[in-house]
Structure 1
């Protein structure tokens, strides 16, 4: 090893430590992507099974089977999302390592040019002394690049850990008895809307929930609100179904776990429209009630700012 090579050896060690950021074929990243694809496919299959059951089978057994199929589909969807997210995190982390390695290699090239510029003086003590501060500067810059990349990768590792520890969604069990339309407080399926039209819910509990939600029109929006003094979106739907004797999860993104997915063409009063961070209740006649500011009735929609739409769900 020449004197110049000895001066820059720490920087070459940093290059070896960094690696290239490219994972070998057939490794964990490919497994994550394959798992995400499989989970997406399983979710579609389970959802199709739930829809088939809902179309061609009625009664207590059908309700329980459809509920189970929908719960399986939800678990697979969330698994697919987590795996896709993890694969994206790994891709980004690899790109960061690759970029850092490129920058350190540029420092090596820069040092080589500085050393070559000394000509024959490179092999004398005065030449090495002149090259020493250049080497120290390049090594320090390389160490800073590695330190910054390490900090960024630490955040990526935390995100991966959060994905792996994503809590299982709470689930509301399927009803133990068949719904014959007389389980709510007044037993009526008919609901009179604010525009005067009369609609009919799929069961008495849904009808009672719609009436309860509509009774809160004009109540102000309150983040985290779950009482008649103020509601947020999921606070309103949870409160309304509680009045009907049905308990559903507190958070908007979890309220789909309380029911079976319904096609938009078949929605009925009481069904929930669920986004990643918002939820509203269908009331019929192409309308829904939601906790805006204040609680209000609006046309049914599937867009809400930039949030992903999860679908329509009928609580059980």
Structure 2
């Protein structure tokens, strides 16, 4: 008599080793989302702190502090977004395994149902032949499910790899330890290859996230001379402007990758287009009264040109470009906002930086000081 339990055993073993795909409360995706939430809270506090400092303090020193704080704010926002995206990938990987587990369970039940349906014929040569053929067919189906889920998990591990920043320190090690157990917890021997690959990739998540946060918080400011608008030369601190950390309140934010590699979020497509256009003019010589990157440009000509590319009309004179209400606080700056003086104007691009028509057009640290000019404030033309 053929051992029917032996024929079913490979399917039962595959099902038991496959894993359920159920992560449970406090799993890796919860850890990633919790970290993202904590970072969002840090961003909110930093906005308030930046605004308070700028209320009671001014000058080059506070400009340097503000620029650095905005860079950390941008980095925190990027890490928060990355953590949320990673959590989504983790959940999708678990869902793939859950689906595979249900399919394997169905395959096992199908085989057992076919055996039961044979009834008395099970003891005949024809019946035994049918059982063996059915067992081979169902095992093949089971291995097909395993192969497909391996491919699906391969896609998810590739997505994690794309999201993982350069490795460094371990301040988010708790997130890594949870994430590194993802694929081994949702699958074991049936998906050992995929689990090993995924665990290795997910194991770098926290150290990578921590690295970006650590490097951003230790950034330094330089100093640089810029050419003021409308023919006036001004000196300010050096290197890059505007915060991207704040997200648009209406959900219409647009991501921009800056020349330094940081990813920022403009409040809308018009602001994003203006930022891209202004950055595209970097290197253009300063020409008083110039209106286009092709023939030279001045400060207000740059911002007018950039916003013109976005379909937004600005006044020609720098001191008249303080449009958009209400005035934007330093802690709430977003790409596309304008820094306006009584004789100069520059555009915030994000990550503690702004772009302005010096000689030539360049990116520099955000500031409120410009050769003794009166600073009118920050404005959002698209508000």
Q: Do Structure 1 and Structure 2 share a fold, with TM-score over 0.5? A: yes
User: 1:161 deviation in Å?
Assistant: 2.7
- Cα distance in 2, alignment partners of residues 154 and 233 from structure 1: 38
- Aligned counterpart in structure 2 of residue 271 of structure 1, from 344, 347, 352: 347
Is contact 2:40–2:80 with CA below 8 Å preserved after alignment? yes
Residue equivalent to 1:43: 43
Is contact 2:32–2:86 with CA below 8 Å preserved after alignment? yes
Q: TM-score if structure 1 supplies the norm length? A: 0.60
Q: TM-score if structure 2 supplies the norm length? A: 0.51
Residue equivalent to 1:262: 333
Listed one character per residue, the Cα deviations across residues 222-273 of structure 1 (whole Å, up to 9, x for unaligned) are xxx9xxxxxx7475154359999xxxxxxxxxxxxxx976268875331235
Is contact 1:7–1:132 with CA below 8 Å preserved after alignment? yes
Residue equivalent to 1:290: none
Listed one character per residue, the Cα deviations across residues 10-61 of structure 1 (whole Å, up to 9, x for unaligned) are 2222212321111133232221111111011112212322232233321122
- Cα distance in 2, alignment partners of residues 56 and 133 from structure 1: 83
The 1:48–1:237 alpha-carbon spacing in structure 2 relative to 1, beyond 3 Å, is farther
The 1:139–1:301 alpha-carbon spacing in structure 2 relative to 1, beyond 3 Å, is farther
The 1:121–1:37 alpha-carbon spacing in structure 2 relative to 1, beyond 3 Å, is same
Residue equivalent to 1:7: 7
Q: Residues 46-125 of structure 1: matches in 2 within 5 Å?
A: 46-124=46-124
Give aligned pairs, total: 233
Is contact 1:273–1:281 with CA below 8 Å preserved after alignment? yes
Higher RCO, Cα 8 Å, sep 6+: 2
Structural RMSD (CA): 4.2
Gaps of 5+ in 1: 178-182, 192-199, 207-224, 226-231, 245-258, 284-298, 303-316
Residue equivalent to 2:360: none
- Cα distance in 2, alignment partners of residues 162 and 37 from structure 1: 21
Q: Residues 1-316 of structure 1: matches in 2 within 5 Å?
A: 3-124=3-124, 126-166=126-166, 168=212, 173-176=220-223, 183-185=225-227, 188-190=228-230, 233=277, 235-239=279-283, 262=333, 267-268=339-340, 269-273=345-349, 300-301=381-382
Aligned-partner SS, 2:226: coil
User: 1:158 deviation in Å?
Assistant: 2.1
Is contact 2:337–2:347 with CA below 8 Å preserved after alignment? no
Listed one character per residue, the Cα deviations across residues 172-215 of structure 1 (whole Å, up to 9, x for unaligned) are 742448xxxxx434xx4447xxxxxxxx99x6679xxxxxxxxx
Is contact 1:67–1:260 with CA below 8 Å preserved after alignment? no
Gaps of 5+ in 2: 167-207, 238-258, 260-275, 287-296, 299-329, 358-379
Aligned-partner SS, 2:26: coil
The 1:265–1:271 alpha-carbon spacing in structure 2 relative to 1, beyond 3 Å, is closer
The 1:301–1:3 alpha-carbon spacing in structure 2 relative to 1, beyond 3 Å, is farther
Is contact 1:37–1:80 with CA below 8 Å preserved after alignment? yes
The 1:240–1:74 alpha-carbon spacing in structure 2 relative to 1, beyond 3 Å, is farther
Is contact 1:237–1:280 with CA below 8 Å preserved after alignment? no
- Cα distance in 2, alignment partners of residues 146 and 106 from structure 1: 14
